[in-house]
Amino acid sequence: MRTFFAPASIGNFCVGFDSLGAALAPLGEQLLGDIVHIEEAEQDEFRCIGEYADKLPSNQEENLAYQCLSHFRAHVNADMPNVSLTLEKRLPIGSGLGSSACSVVATFAALNAFSQTALSQVQMIELMADFEAKVSGARHYDNITPCYLGGLQLTSEIVPDRAIALPTGADWHIVVAFPGFALNTAKARAVLPTRLNLGQSVTFAQRLAAFTALLQQQRFNEAVQLMQDEIAEPSRAPLIQGYKEAQLSLPELGADVVSISGAGPTLFALCTSLDRAKRCEDWLNKNYVNENGFSHICKFDNQGTRELT
């Protein structure tokens, strides 16, 4: 049996709506993401297990990972041997941590490696984006690409090879906190403004361009100072209970940035020291996370999706 892991991710990464994404690695040995097990079998079989398996449709044909398997066999490699595929669902649904992307990326990575199909980076990302669109309603790359490639990625269909990896500060610690309740991605997108005026559009472009340029120049402190979301956050914040309080309280504990992870309700706080991150995590555990939620202090997962040994 072969086993593949795909990490959780932060979409938008504050300044890069639908364009920036970051893969997450909790400090220590813990893996934050989904796992897929694959082995040859007499006929195609699919199972879904794990902590959050009961949150997915009981009908396997409605499961994204099963749909990936069916599509891969029908349209990518019809000669692939029959497989037993098991999705170990370890990320909560509707969390804002790229849960659907995790399932899709881990499954296609496992199928591509097992069948020795050798799809290119662009072919893989496009294939994954097609299936992520089944959940989000459109082909968004900002969870798919970092989940697959790792690190912080500038990504879209107009970017060469769909991805440009960006450097990040060595002292950056990212505290992610899932409060314990889900937020439907479609609902979170429905509240977004349908149009931006010229001034808003120019400001967004300037901020994202300056942020990425400063990272390339390793001027990390100056880049952090630009991290502000004026596109999605004002509309989505009212949907997330406790978010406004966290946004006010965490900077006093040392957070340089507080923003929404993807569509929410997970938030992330960027801190430039471990001590500050621990203070923020402690506050979040006491004031933001319920008994069904969790928090982690993370660095960037620079490996992306990989086979576990």
Cβ neighbors of 154 (< 8 A, separation 6 or more) are 16, 19, 20, 163, 164, 166, 212
- pLDDT reported for residue 131: 86
- For the domain covering 2-166, report its CATH number: 3.30.230.10
DSSP state of 76: I
Q: Which residues pair with 258 in a beta bridge?
A: 269
- For the domain covering 173-300, report its CATH number: 3.30.70.890
Q: Strand pairing of 294-300 and 20-26?
A: antiparallel
- pLDDT reported for residue 305: 98
Q: Strand pairing of 83-88 and 45-49?
A: parallel
Domain residue spans of the chain = 2-166, 173-300
DSSP state of 128: H
Which position has the token pair 């559009």? 201
Rounded Cα distance, 300 and 288, in Å: 23
- pLDDT reported for residue 2: 97
Per residue of the chain (309 residues), what is the pLDDT tens digit? 999 999 999 999 999 999 999 999 999 888 999 999 999 999 999 999 999 999 998 899 999 999 999 999 999 999 999 999 999 999 999 999 999 999 999 999 999 999 999 999 999 999 999 888 877 777 889 999 999 999 999 999 999 999 999 999 999 999 999 999 999 888 898 999 999 999 999 999 999 999 999 999 999 999 999 999 999 999 999 999 999 999 999 999 999 999 999 999 999 999 999 999 999 999 999 999 999 999 999 999 999 999 998
- pLDDT reported for residue 36: 98
Q: Which among 24, 14, 22, 26 has a CA at the least distance from the CA of 256? A: 14
